[in-house]
Amino acid sequence: MRIVLDTNMLVSGLHNPDGTPGRIVDLVMGGRIQLLYDDRILGEYLDVLARPELEIDSSLARAVVGYIRLAGERVTALPLPADTLPDPDDLPFAEVAASGAADALVTGNTKHFARWKEQGNSVLSPAQFLERLT
């Protein structure tokens, strides 16, 4: 399965490896899920995971992002209209999902992608994704 993983899922997965997002990160790291990304998404992953208040081990963060860079699929994303989503910071995730023909965009903030989902795109919560995967 080919997915785009919102940054909040990566953060949650690294904070709580036993939770649902942690299981998704494990599936990515185990090569069972193909993660789609572009430079903007990798940059956001690195930036957010390095925030001191999140207390994520920097070597773990670099290793995870490094693995994503090597094992994931880099997508050259075509732009979507600026009004596709209410928060322009979420646009790269939708653009990569659309351009890369992702099976789903997985996020803890499905409300942020409601309009895009209404257009027929697959936006799943972590629980919905794991249910669909099995």
Percent of the chain surpassing pLDDT 90: 97
Residues 116, 85: contact at Cβ < 8 Å?
yes
Residues 100, 91: contact at Cβ < 8 Å?
no
Residue ranges in the chain whose pLDDT is less than 50:
none
- Return the pLDDT at 71: 97
Spell out the SS3 assignment of 99-120.
Answer: HCCCCEEECCCHHHHHHHHHCC
pTM assigned to the model: 0.96
- Return the pLDDT at 89: 94
The CATH number for 2-133, chosen from 3.40.50.1010, 3.10.110.10, 2.40.110.10, 3.30.830.10, is 3.40.50.1010
Q: pLDDT digit string (tens) for 67-95?
A: 999 999 999 999 999 889 999 999 999 99
